[in-house]
Structure 1
Amino acid sequence: MGNTEQLAFFLLLVIALVLAFWRGGAPERCGAGVVLAMVLVQFGGESVLPSSFRSVDPTSLMADAVGTVGFGVLALQARRIWPLWATSLQLLSLSAHFARWADIGIPPTVYAVMRGTPTFLALAAIAIGTILHLWRERRHGDDPSWQDWSRVAVASARSREASWRRW
């Protein structure tokens, strides 16, 4: 990654995390926590195992796995769309590691782009999600953060009961 790309990444990282922690709802703050965990894994691992684009980078693989699981759990619980985007993007990043592992002739530069770009876009998803959260709060006065699974179960049971009555 060149200096310009690194600068853009770290600038978006700071903006997304500050915005999410400062003005975001609970899901946005949890997403920022997932990103912080990914950063800690990445920088902690880099001190032990330097990054390489010629073979699978175990540190980046672990960071992307943390991101995929963290955003995936968040996507199941939060009443937001952006965690689905972030989870999907992290799955793309994970697939880059498997492509490198399978050694299907991916040049090192392509591997670097494949594993870094989705995380950059996941940061953008958190920032956009935080902005949309603020917009919904201003517009509606409230923006529920979490799924109410008991309400979903009751609505599903009522729907099944109503369909049986039609028969």
Structure 2
Amino acid sequence: MLIGLLFWLLAGLSCGYAIVFGGKDGRWAAFLIIAAALMTIPAARVGRAWGSTEMAIFAVDSVLLFGFYGLMLASRRFWPIWITGFHLIAVATHFSTMLAPAFTPAIYRALESMWAIPIQLTLLLGVELDRRAAKRPLSP
């Protein structure tokens, strides 16, 4: 419950900040995060309470990974690489439960959901660093 509350607080802060102050990359990342979070709500109801691989959540996470990957390739910024890498770890967690079905459900859920926090912090920091870089005068 606490992680869920932290997620939504951080999502509101980081995505709101990216929408208001971020460039095109920040707004796209915010859109992807919000869309995936909203799609995860019904996807979580399809599964079996993390007792085995959550295929619906895996599908949402895979689509999000491809979205982050596209953003990373199109961006001239460094932070989308980090976001994509963090989310790749979350997607790899799904594969670990496919390879080891006896994976403890609590650990699976924790490993799967905890990577959202570094992703959002990276978005927040990346947008802020982009803003600061835009304000600096170019050296001759």
> Normalising to structure 2: TM-score of the pair?
0.90
In terms of mean alpha carbon deviation, does 114-123 or 14-23 score higher?
A: 114-123
1:137 pairs with 124, 131, 134, which one?
134
- Larger RCO of the pair (alpha carbons < 8 Å, separation 6+): 2
Please tell me the residue identity of whatever aligns with 1:34. Answer: L
Larger Rg: 1
Partner residue, 2:105: 108
Structure 1 residues 57 and 140: alpha-carbon distance in aligned structure 2, compared to 1, 3 A threshold = farther
Equivalent residue in structure 2 for 1:68, among 61, 65, 68: 65
Q: Is the 8 A contact 1:41 1:59 kept in 2?
A: no
Distance, in Å, in 2 between the alignment partners of 1:77 and 1:97 is: 27
Q: Scaled by the length of structure 1, what TM-score is found?
A: 0.76
Deviation sequence 1:92-135 (CA, Å, 0-9, x none): 11111111111254211110121111122111111111111111
**C-alpha separation between the residues in 2 aligned to 1:43 and 1:104?**
23
Question: What is residue 37 of structure 2 aligned with on the other side?
Answer: 39
**Which of structure 1's runs of 4+ aligned residues deviate more than 4 A?**
none
Percent of paired sites with the same residue: 23
Structure 1 gaps, min length 5:
142-167
Does the 8 Å CA contact 2:79/2:123 hold for their aligned counterparts? Answer: yes
RMSD: 1.7
The number of aligned residues is: 138
Aligned pairs for 1:41-60 within 5 A? 41-47=39-45, 49-50=46-47, 52-60=49-57
Instruction: Give the counterpart of 1:89 among 86, 90, 94.
Output: 86
